[in-house]
Structure formats: structure tokens, C-alpha cells
Chains A and B, each alone.
Chain A
Amino acid sequence: MTMPLTEAGLAVERHWRELASRRRLHTIGGLILLFLALSGSLWFANESNAGKFFDRLPHFFDFVDQLIPRDGLEVWRAMFDLPSPYADGSLKFDYPEGRVYLVGSFYVPEYVYKMLETINIALVSTLIGFAFGFLLCFLAASNLVTQRWLRFFVRRFLEILRAFPEIVIAGFFLAVLSMSAIPAIIAVSLHTIGALGKLFFEVVENADMKADEGLRAVGGNWPERVWFGIVPQVMPNFLSYGLLRLEINVRASTIIGAVGGGGIGEALRLSISRNHEAKTIAIIILLFCTIVAVDQFSAWLRKKLVGEQAFAFGRGE
């Protein structure tokens, strides 16, 4: 049973109804807008694609069929550069061709070597990015730098490094340096400086300033304050972000490799486009295992460094 409301009660009820209906209106309006944007986008994507979605869908598994090698062992032969019984002089079965001999008859299989190259690109870029991000982040932190212009300048610089498309940097240095891994290293490093620099200065801004105060009180200069007051507190977080970045950089250097930077990415692109199914599967397996291994290793180390906080969200870009 309902009690008749007083004047004030009625006003409150009316107001609540208004708010509720306005909210519903906003939600429905937002959903309609999202739906329109989505259908428009899908129509546009389908129109401007080379193959139409519904025309291609029945043939989707044709391609998957082409990915199945003649026999399962071919994949291992491709991965470890063993001679194939189907060898007919074509590029498709020339597995032993790619061997990289180290000492005498001891060789590293081609794709393992390329995978190592990609991992090294990622590792070197992460180290370079970490070093420069480390140097720059203190200049961008509002609790350490009082000069607004300096902070502004460093932050914009980091932003530009972060937003600048990696493939343009890689492409530019490919034009200057010819084919090698260096363009990929430069591109990934520059991006890493920007990405890590931003994350780092946010960590520095959240640091406890008591240690810094103590150092200032005994007359420590700026580098001493940073080195003894801030760095010990933020280092675990820095390392954790650096490891997270390493995971991302392994993927990034694969992609940059695919557009001309060498390493496993290029091998994958070539073998897919040439229909070399055994090679493709071998590379995918290698890449998959590497990514899982790097992710697991980094997750384990980050957990040791900063505990559960290591799994805070975001790829940190």
C-alpha cells in the first residue's frame, strides 16, 4: 500500500523521475550513436576491402588448408634445417640452405638465428630506451624540477617520441643505412624512450619526498638528491616497467622486421606470401614459444620485484 506523499515528497519523486529518465535517454542515445558508428564503420571497411567479407568467408578455410604441410615432420625439418625428402631444388624445401655455421659443422638453424636476432633487437632497444628514459624522466617530474619550461619541453619531447609512428623512423633509416637490423633498433628504441619516460616520471611524481627532504636539509645537490633520495624507491617500479616494455618490444621488433627490418618477422611475411607451409608453421611455433617464454619470465621477475602491483593494467604505451 502506498502512503500519499507530502508536497516535498512529491517534488523529490518528480525530480528523481526526471533524473532517471534523462539518464536512460543518455544511455540509449549513446548506444544508438555507438551502433550507428559501428555499422557505418563496418560498411566502410567492407566496401574498401579488396575482398568482400561474405564473399571470402566460404573460402576462409581454403587458406587454412594451404597451411597444412605434406607431412608433420616437415615442420621440424624446416625448423631445424634438416634436408627434406621432397627437395626439388625450389625455395620451398631448401631447408639446409639457411644454416648459420658457427664452429666447424655446428650450425644454428636459420629461423632460430633470426628469432635470436629479433630478441636481441628487442633487448638492445629496451636497454637504450631504459637508459634514456631514466635520464629524462627526472627532468619531467614536477616534484623535482621547478622550472616549468624545462618540464614542459621534456614532456612534449617524450610525447612526440611516443606518438611518432615507428615504421616511419624505421623506413627513414632503412633508406639511409640499407638493409640491416639497425633501423629497427633505432625505431623501437626511440619509441621506448618516449613510452618508458612517461611511465617513469609518473612513478617519480608519486615517490615519497621525505628522503629527498632529508638530503636537501644536509645540503645535497640535485643529482645527489635524485640518486640517493628518489632512485632507490622507484627502481623496482622502473625495472618492472622495463620488463613489461621488453615483452612489447619483442612483438614490436617482429612487426618492424616484417616491413623490412630483418629478423623473424621478415622471414614470416615471405614464407606466408610464398605459400611455404612448413616454414610458416615452424616460424609461428618458434614465435609463439618465444613470446610465451618472454612473457612468463618477465611476469615472474616483475612479481619478485614489485609483487602483485606488477599486474596493474595497461601495456604502458
Chain B
Amino acid sequence: MTTLSMADMQAIADRHPGVVTGSWRKSLIGWAVSAGIVAYLVFAWWFFSVGAVLAGGNWGIAGTYLADWVSYEVRPQVAFKDGRLDVSYPRFSSYRADRHPDWLDITQPAGATIAGNKAPADRVVAHIGSSTAIDIAPERVVVTHGGETLDVTIAPSRSISVTGTLPAWATQKAPGQKIVADFGFAGGLQIDGDDVKIRHRFLGWENFFFDANSPFWGKSTGEVLSLVFSGERLDPKMSNTALAWDNIVNNSEWQHGDVWLKLAQTIVMAFVGTLFASLIAFPLAFAAARNITRNRLVNQVTKRFFDFLRSVDMLIWALFFTRAFGPGPIAGISAIFFTDTGTFGKLYSEALENIDDKQREGMRSVGASPASVQRYGVVPQVLPVLVSQSLYFWESNTRSATIIGAVGAGGIGLKLWEAMRTNSDWENVAYMVLLILIVVFIFDNISTALRHRLIGGKSSH
């Protein structure tokens, strides 16, 4: 084996400078392009004022929003009132004055009655995890977390004072003011002059199957199953199975029925839009292909028509048809249909222009009618390719249909957008995204499998 020493390599490089060092012009172009890109990015940074926007962003809340995708909070509120406590919950909570979560121990005064949405209590102990306890008595709060204790007394003047030192997990901006304690993911609390707000976060989706108004709410899977299959009728009007199904579909928090309906609309939009576009583009492509229709005027007119349909964006079509037909899937179908007739027309006519002419010649030589020439001489060659292209777009249109839905063209897009705008339903967003991902995944696989069967082997894109 021959080995080169450094000196040899140097000598060879000196002898053939053009081979080793490459042209300076090329490397100059490389540097110029890189410098241009960097300059452009600097310009873009300024143009979009990226720095200011990122700095002004509400990053603290981003974590909460992300956590909301897969978890939920229960927020009881304990108010100090005339030497006793009032426990209440936010408006849309699953818990009410007569129904408390099991991690909240409430000692009720003898003979007390629930007034409105508030439950009276002498003492409330909240257990957040195993090492955290919040013990609330009138005008006094004792919080134990991670072996440290926070002892808070509230004076009649509503001034808040701490006995001993403030642990690291609690903050008080100034003496006498509110105290905020944070236990990480599990939750936290805020002590004000007149009440204590507790947050306890749980992993998972709250009330995914049954909302709090359902008789099945709060029951374990086993209990629900035994009720559904063998229990007494909970509602005399219908069987338990029907009741359970009805409760799931009409779940007020997750709106399963509506979400599924909107998802079906999105799927239908993509399916019908793509199918109609293929059916209309197919004959038009024959007019556009210059080897099939030997008339340059017809070719050009059809091709420019395709370009027009394609270049008026799907968004414009979607907004246009939403105005014309009202919000809903018909607008979405029309938008996909118009845009994709243009795209398919272009692709199909290109496929037709690349066919092998021998089969048509054969058909013509045996005296076949013009229609038969196309049917037997052209269609068998291109059909698999055309169908495969349509299938490919069917899958990608399912994604597009989601987006144009958000401008009013029907389907799950709008529902998704509404859920995001409220900033409190991120778990519903996660649920819909999951459904969309599943649908796209299934369609992707169906379309790939069909395409493989049609054109065999690796798909050609």
C-alpha cells in the first residue's frame, strides 16, 4: 500500500494548483451568497422587529398554556367571612358547594346550610400531593410544603403577616400584602386579605367522557360499565347505554358530537373537492395537451385557465365562496375544487404530453374512432399516474381543508380557531389536533398503499 507523506501531498498540490484549490470565483460566489443571506436575515429581524416582539411576549403564560394541553386545574376558593369560611368554585367547575373534591377536607359547622354556591366551613384542609398541606382556619393559614411551614395570620385590617420566616417557595412583595406560594406543577395558592385561592393541577383531560351534569360523572370505569350493562335505569326514558352515549356526545366541555361532525366535514371537503377537481380536470387536460389537441389556441386558453385557477389562491376562493354559500363545507369543497382543478389540469396535461405515441398510432392504424384512440391508446398509459397524483393531493388537501376552515369555509378549522381564541380551552385544542393527526396519518397510509398498488414500487415524487 502506498502512503503519502505531508511533503508529497504538498508537492502534488503545488504541481496542480487548479485541482486542489478550486476556482476563486466559485468560492467568492459562495461567500457572497452567505453574506447576502445573513444581511437579509438582519433586515428581516429589523423589519419584523423580532427582538421587541420576543421580549414583549408573555412567556410566563406560555408554560401554563402548554401544561393545559395535557392537564387541568381545580381551583377552590376559600373566603374569610364573619369568623367562618366560605368554600366556592369558579363558574364552570365540576365541583359545587355540595360536591367537593376528595383532597379537600372540610369541617362543616353544626347546623349550617349551604347558601347559593358557597359552602360554609370552620376549617378547610387541602392536600396537594403527599408532602403539601394547606390548613385554613378563619383568619389563619398554615401551609406545609417540603418540610417547611408557612404560618400566616390575617389581621382584622386585612393586613397579612407571616410568623417566622418566609420559605423560598412563597413570595410577598411588601409586608402586609398578598402572599403567593408555588408548588411547581402540582399547584399553588394565593393568600389575599379576604380569601385564599388554591390551584391543584392534575395530569390528564378532565371530564373527557362525562361532564359534571351527567349521572355517570365521577364514577370509575368499572362502575360505569356495570351500570351500562346491568344497572337500574337512571333515566326512565332511555336505557343506560343510550343515556351514556347521549351524555358522551353532548359532553358540554368536550363537545364530542360537534367535534366529530366538524372533523367529518373537513374529511368530506377534501374528498369531494379532490374528486370533483380530478373529474373536471381530466377531460380539460386532453384539450390542454398539445400532442392530443392539435390546436395551439385551445391549448393555450386551457392552460392559462388552469394557471388562473391555481394562482388565485385557495384562500381567495375560500373567502369568496364563504360569502356566496355561507359558512360551511360547500364553501370549502368549492375552494378546493377550484384551486385543484387548476393544479390537476396542469399536472395531467404534462403527463399526457409525455406519453408514448406508439399505442395511439397502433389504434389509429386499425381505423379506430377518435374516441377509441384516446380510450385505448392514451388512457391506459396515464390513468395510474393521474390517479396516483390525485391520491397524493387528497391527503395533502385534508391538511389544507383544516386551514381554510378557519376563515369560515367549514370543518374543524373554525372550531380549532375558536378554541384557541378563548385561551382557556387548550385541552380541546390538543384533542382536535390529535384527531387531525390521526386522520392525516390514516389517509397518508391509505393513499400511499393505493399509490403503490397503482404504480408499483417507490412512488415517483
Contact = CB atoms under 8 A, between A and B. Distances in A.
Contacts of A41: 268, 271-272
B269 A284 contact: no
B48 A254 contact: no
Q: Which of B316, B320, B333 has the most CB of A within 10 A?
A: B316
B406 A259 contact: yes
Nearest to A62: B324
A291 B339 CA distance: 13
13 contacts: A38-B272, A49-B330, A50-B325, A117-B47, A165-B436, A167-B402, A176-B62, A180-B48, A182-B53, A251-B314, A256-B403, A258-B407, A287-B316
B416 A165 contact: yes
A127 B265 contact: no
Interface string B268-283: 1101100100000000
A45 interface: yes
A265 interface: yes
Given A45-B333, A167-B413, A313-B347, A176 B65 contact: yes
Contacts of B49: 180
B138 interface: no
Interface stretch (B141-149, B155-163, B204-212, B305-313): B305-313
Given A38-B272, A255-B314, A255-B403, 17 more contacts: A41-B272, A44-B264, A45-B269, A49-B325, A51-B325, A56-B324, A63-B323, A63-B324, A167-B417, A171-B417, A171-B429, A178-B56, A251-B314, A273-B323, A295-B311, A313-B460, A317-B399
B313 A255 contact: yes
A284 B264 CA distance: 31
Contact of A317 (B268, B396, B403, B433): B396
Contacts of B315: 251, 254-255, 258, 265, 268
Contact of B396 (A37, A42, A48, A315): A315
A258 B406 CA distance: 9
B319 interface: yes
B404 interface: yes
Contacts of A178: 53, 56-58
A136 B195 CA distance: 53
B202 to A, nearest CB: 22
A3 interface: no
A287 B311 CA distance: 9
A152 interface: no
Contacts of A38: 271-272, 275
A175 B407 contact: no
Interface in A234-278: 251, 254-256, 258-259, 265, 268-269, 272-273
Contacts of A317: 396, 399
Nearest to B331: A49
A124 interface: yes
Interface residues of B, number: 74
A120 B389 CA distance: 31
A312 B441 contact: no
Q: Most A CB atoms within 10 A — which of B54, B392, B407?
A: B407
B35 to A, nearest CB: 14
Interface in B284-329: 307, 311-316, 319-320, 323-329
B330 A180 contact: no
Interface class of chain A by DSSP? helix
Given A45-B330, A63-B324, A175 B420 contact: yes
Interface string A160-184: 1001111110011011111011100
Given A181-B48, A288-B312, A163 B329 contact: no
B368 interface: no
Interface in A40-66: 41-42, 44-46, 48-51, 53, 56, 59-60, 63
Nearest to A259: B406
Contact of B268 (A45, A165, A181): A45
Nearest to A181: B48
A185 interface: yes
A44 B59 CA distance: 43
A49 B411 CA distance: 10
Interface string B343-367: 1000100110000000000000000
B410 A49 contact: yes
B37 interface: yes
Contacts of A166: 403
A35 to B, nearest CB: 10
Q: Return the 5 tightest CB-CB contacts between A and B, nearest first.
A: A49-B328, A51-B326, A50-B326, A171-B420, A314-B461
B311 to A, nearest CB: 5
B319 A269 contact: yes
A185 B48 contact: yes
